[in-house]
Amino acid sequence: MRLKAGDHVDRFEIIEPLGEGAYAETYKARDTASGQIVLLKSPNPLLFADPAIHQRFVREAEIARSLNHPGVQRSIDLAEHRSEPYLALEYIEGENLRRWLRAHPTPLPLADAVRWGTELAEALDYLHRHHIVHRDLKPENLIVTRDGHLKIIDFGTALLEGARRLTWRHLTEALGTPDYMSPEQIQGERGDQRSDLYAWGILMYEFLTGHVPFQGDNYLAVMAGHLQRHPQPIREVRPEVPADLEAVVLTAMRRYADNRYQTAGELLGDLRALRLPAGATPPAPSRSPVAPASTEPPPAPPASAFPGIGPLGGLPARSSGAPVSAGAGPTSFRPSGGGAPAPTYAAPAPVSPPGATRRTLPPPAPLRATARDLGPEKPIGRLPAPQSKGAFWGFVGLLAGGFIALVAVIILLSVVLRH
């Protein structure tokens, strides 16, 4: 890595290098002007001459500056002149979800899995309403904070809706991880918000079962699984999972995007209608978005998903209206106070013209995933999906044997016809 502890980049003093990825290096640093701890993300100078890499950096910086949500890493950007390209981001105390899952027993308790799923769905709903698609949601891009919540990080492959298409000739993990990629991304499409919801479903499947639905000893086997195989039902692996919860996850994981949830808000509607079995107390509402940094007016905060429920399962709850600290360190939240009911939000009563008769419309019925078609979907592609190297080479051998047999028959026929 280029920098070491004690080096300075503009007003930032490097505390320690954190790691080097496919296209950038990351450092823990101190803002000498304010004393705040921040994360510096510096693109690899050997790749930065590539126009696509430069556009990727510009896009990530633009996206980071527009985000202000407790479930998403924030930008610490004063728009000052810089001596070199880098991003100054919120430093989050914690570890990425991949390392956390390796260090803790899985599958997760039902309440904790639903809580994390709800937090991710809330963050995705915020991003999608601001026209941002992450496109690479996976455990490596999620941080488990010290207080047990999830934050989405790394918007290097994120897409601003309406932005022109970028191509990147460097084939690396930055293009996506096959375990969590949607079928349309595997086919080379850009993906949209439904691709993020597919990745959400894969993550939830892993939370509930302890493994991803499609496995193999090579990338091709995993990618073919998304296109052609059907996931094993969650309740076959873990019978205590409620049918409604299984249906929510499998709906998000539908192979064809039109058969999935179409928005994160639709997914949240089903999550908030869940009723966990006795002994698995429903989780408290995770958190609600703070006002966005853009000039667009923020949407009304949602009502509590599980009112009146306090912390459980070792993951503390955040109150619905908890303030977010302005510092560059980890975001702090005020505890919800155990069983105190979460606040609700009511729209002002409409004003009717004189003489008008007011009609009270019933609230819309909640969407239920169990009412959806969860039957097997038609595979994408015609060839069977090899699940291992042995099966793959067996298939290749079968094709080669068939070709040799065909050639032998042709030669035999030609000899017979000559005589």
**39 with 330: CB under 8 angstroms?**
no
Catalytic one among 136, 154, 179, 270?
136
Phi, psi of 245 (to 5 degrees): -65, -45
Number of neighbours of residue 65 by Cβ within 10 angstroms: 16
Beta bridge mates, 17: 27
CA-based nearest residue to 90, from 159, 29, 25:
29
Name the CA radius of gyration of the chain, rounded: 25
136 classed as catalytic = yes
Please list, in sequence order, all residues whose beta carbon lies within 8 angstroms of the beta carbon of residue 193, skipping any fewer than 6 positions away: 124, 128, 133, 263, 264
Query: Where in the sequence numbering do the catalytic residues fall?
Result: 136
